[in-house]
Copies of this chain bind each other. A is one copy, B any other.
Amino acid sequence: MNEPNAPAENPSDPFQPIERATVSDAILDQLRGLIAGGTLKPGDRLPSERDLCKRFGVGRTSVREALKPLITLGILEGRIGSGTYVATEAGQFQKPLQWGLLGDLQSQDDLVETRHMLETNAAHWAAQRAGPDNLAAIAATLQGMAEHLDEPGQFQEFDANFHFEIARATQNKMLYRLINVIRGQIQTWIGERLTLSPERTESLARTSLEQHREIFAAIQDQDGAAARAAMDHHIQTATRDLQKIAK
C-alpha cells in the first residue's frame, strides 16, 4: 500500500510499535522528562519555539500546545520578547495543586477541616524535628507579627509565614506543599472576613500572636503533644472568630 510514514517494523517483535496518539502530547512527555530529570533546571531558558519546531520536526502549533499546559501549571513561564523559562522550584507545585483541590469552591468546611488536620499534625512533627535554622525562621515571623500588630496586611503575611515555616520544619515536603496550597486559599478567606470588621483586627491580632507564641514554645521544647494542642486551640479559636465576623 501507499503508506506515507510506514514505521520500520521489527520482524522479531510484532507488537512493538506504538505510535503516540498526538504529537503535542509526545512533546509534552519529552519536556516533562527533561525537567523532572534535571536536564532543564529552574531558571533555564528553553530554545525558542521556532527552534524547537525544527528540532522536533513538527509545526509551531504542536510545540505551543505542548508548552501551554506546562505554562498554565506554572512549571514553565513564557516571556514575550525574551523566551520561555523553567519556573523557580517554589512556584512549580503551587498551581497544579490548586487546580486539583479547588475544583468545587462550595466546600469551605472541607477546607477548614482539612487545614486543621494538616496543621495540627505539622505542629506535632515540627516539634520533633525542627532544627536550629527552623526555630530561628519561626522566631523571626513572630518578631514580624509583634512589630505589625496594627497593620493587618503585614501582620497577615507574617502570620502565614509562621505556618509555612512550621510546615517546613516537619521536613516532609509533601506535607509542606499541601499546607502551602490550602493555607493560600484560607488566606484569601481570612482577608475577606477581616475587611468586614477592621476595628477589631488589632485585638484579634494580639490574641493570635499570643497563641502563636505558645505554639512556638512547645516546638522549642520539642513537646509534640503540646504543640499539637496549642495549634489545635489556635486554629479553633481563629476559625470561630472569623466565622463570627461573618454575621
A interface residues (Cβ-Cβ under 8 A, vs B): 24-25, 28, 36, 61, 64-65, 68-69, 72-73, 92-97, 99-105, 107, 110-111, 113-114, 117-118, 121, 172-175, 177-178, 181
**Residue in B closest to A117 when the chains form the complex, CB atoms:** B121
**Residue in B closest to A24 when the chains form the complex, CB atoms:** B68
- Contact indicator B174/A36 (Cβ below 8 Å): no
Cα A104 to Cα B37 with chains together (Å)? 7
Nearest CB on B from A96, distance (A): 4
List, in ascending order, chain B residues with CB within 8 A of A110's CB: 172-175
* Among candidates B25, B72, B111, B172, residue contacting A113 with C-beta atoms closer than 8 Å: B172
- Contact indicator B173/A36 (Cβ below 8 Å): no
Cα A73 to Cα B103 with chains together (Å)? 12
Assembly of this chain: how many copies? 2
List, in ascending order, chain B residues with CB within 8 A of A177's CB: 100-101
* Among candidates B24, B65, B94, B101, residue contacting A174 with C-beta atoms closer than 8 Å: B101
- Contact indicator B178/A178 (Cβ below 8 Å): yes
- Contact indicator A93/B97 (Cβ below 8 Å): no
- Contact indicator A107/B174 (Cβ below 8 Å): yes
Nearest CB on B from A25, distance (A): 8
* Among candidates B28, B96, B111, residue contacting A100 with C-beta atoms closer than 8 Å: B96
Cα A72 to Cα B93 with chains together (Å)? 16
* Among candidates B24, B36, B181, residue contacting A103 with C-beta atoms closer than 8 Å: B36
- Contact indicator A73/B65 (Cβ below 8 Å): no
**Residue in B closest to A122 when the chains form the complex, CB atoms:** B117
- Which 10 A-B residue pairs are closest in the complex by CB-CB distance? A96-B100, A97-B100, A69-B72, A96-B99, A69-B69, A110-B174, A110-B172, A93-B100, A65-B68, A114-B174
